[in-house]
Amino acid sequence: MLKIAYKEIYQHPLPERHRFPMIKYELIPNQLLYEGIISNENLFEPNDCSEENILLTHDYNYWKNLNQLKLTESEMRKIGFPLSAKLVAREITIMQGTIDCALYTLQFGFAMNTAGGTLHAFTNKGEGFSY
């Protein structure tokens, strides 16, 4: 069975006229449902990624500063989204969705996360985003 990660938090509020098309995260699952390509059974809502898993791939100091909303203006400008607790919650939910999809792929052969890859993440910084 095809499993697709989606949670309402994926569509994060951005300032008016922001160039990132955040609405796509709501539109993608709705369009697939509308066209009958998937059913609600295909969709699942991931939980938050554990700090233990976050620290497998991210530098502790970067994670601490991000989680405590203490990134510098320069660091945030490179990411391209305004820093907020809701943004951090969104990203750790997306991260868990990707992990869950990897596990579902082992079970079913294929899975996808509707919001995977928003940020170009490094171990110690975020930088830019993909459309």
Over residues 63-101, the pLDDT tens digits come to 999 999 999 999 988 888 889 999 999 999 999 999 999
* CA angle, residues 80, 47, 96, in degrees to nearest 5: 55
Over residues 25-58, the pLDDT tens digits come to 889 999 999 999 999 999 999 999 999 999 999 9
Burial 5-22 (b: 16+ CB within 10 A, else e): bbbebbbbebeeeeeeeb
Task: List the domain range (segments joined by +) for residue 73.
Answer: 3-129
Q: How many domains does the chain have?
A: 1
8-22, 40-54, 110-124, range with greatest mean pLDDT: 40-54
